[in-house]
Amino acid sequence: MSEEKVETKAMENLSLVQSQETKEEKELSSSIIEEKTAESKPEETKANSEETKTESTPEPEKENEPAEPDKALLKEQFVLFSKFGDKTADGKSIKLSQSDKWFKQAKVIDGKKITTTDTGIAFRKIAKNTTKLNFPGWSKYLEEIANSKSIHVNSIKAKLVECGKPGLSGATSVVKNAAMDRLTDSSKYGGTHKSRFDSTGKGKGKDGRVDAKSDGYVAGYKNKGSYRET
């Protein structure tokens, strides 16, 4: 083989080696870039996910949630109102009418946010075919009312605990004005009505309702006692 052919063959081998080295360097460089990209993507994805979660679903502020009242006090109120107006009740279950009475006294039913129509629908949904609810069932009824009106159930429970014992909260109040004062001023009464009150305006009771024994004279006669018997 001539020297010229040997030299040409050597140059081709050298060129082939250099080409293979360049190809390996490119593949190595590409592999390094892909690894770095793969390492950075999970961090970016995690950061974007956390950012999206923070923006879309903010955590509720637990500080604003009303505290749950004492369950024992609520149960005590339940027993009192479940017996109200029903002498045969044992205090273990409550009717809708009794619960509504409780709600009205506690101002849970206000005619705007919550009405008796709302309580009736929720009560029948929980009670099904029965007319009464025991304490656990009635507690579910409270949850149903609260959820349907977007109210925290603890707010309703707090009002029911704080409203006090069953009473006549809707009784008619006494009107105070000049006309009423004039009509109830016993010093201006006349005839038999005047004799029913003492000088301070206090009623005499039974004594004021018993007519005095007649002496034969009409009221207002000025010559009483001047008659002479013959």
The yes-or-no verdict on residue 157 having pLDDT over 70 is yes
Res. 203 pLDDT band, cuts 50 70 90: confident
Q: Of the segments 138-142, 180-184, 217-221, 224-228, which one has the largest average pLDDT value?
A: 138-142
Distance CA 171, CA 184 (A): 20
In this predicted structure, what is the pLDDT of residue 29? 60
Res. 57 pLDDT band, cuts 50 70 90: very low
Distance CA 157, CA 68 (A): 7
- Shortest CA distance to 153 belongs to which of 191, 108, 188? 108
11-27 confidence digits (pLDDT tens): 666 566 556 656 666 66
Residue with tokens 């590409």: 30
| Least confident span in 51-65, 132-146, 183-197, 216-230 | 51-65
* Mode of pairing for the β-strands spanning 132-134 and 93-95: antiparallel
Residue ranges covered by each domain of the chain: 3-55, 71-162
- Which class does domain 71-162 fall in? mainly alpha
In this predicted structure, what is the pLDDT of residue 209? 67
86-138 confidence digits (pLDDT tens): 989 999 999 999 999 999 999 999 989 999 999 999 999 999 999 999 999 99
Query: Which pTM does this prediction carry?
Result: 0.48
What are 67's two structure tokens?
């505290």
